[in-house]
Amino acid sequence: MAVIEISCVEIWREVSNYIDSTVDPALRQRMEEHFKGCEHCAAVLDGTRNIVRLVGNGHVFELPAGFAERLKVALASRLGN
């Protein structure tokens, strides 16, 4: 049985569902075939998995004192505010 091609845009819409294993088997197969041939979408998949791991591990990072204020100033200067 031939696998019907899937677009990158459809991959991006469904990548979270793919990771959660909530896509139907036919779509999963199409996505897996696409990941084999599309380096960009494979990178999106890897990046999304990394984000899920980072957010899901529950670790909280303490920011250095004054970081928030320095960030606001830096963003304002780059945005011309």
Q: Residue 3: which pLDDT band, with cuts at 50, 70 and 90?
A: low
Alpha carbons 81 and 77: distance in angstroms, whole number: 6
pLDDT in tens, 6-40: 999 999 999 999 999 999 999 999 999 999 999 99
25-33-2-26 Cα dihedral, nearest 10 degrees? 10
Q: What is the pLDDT at residue 2? A: 56
Among residues 27, 46, 34, 43, which one has the least CA distance to residue 8? Answer: 34
Q: What is the pLDDT at residue 9? A: 93
pTM of the model: 0.65
Q: Which residues contact 22 (CB under 8 A, 6 or more apart)?
A: none
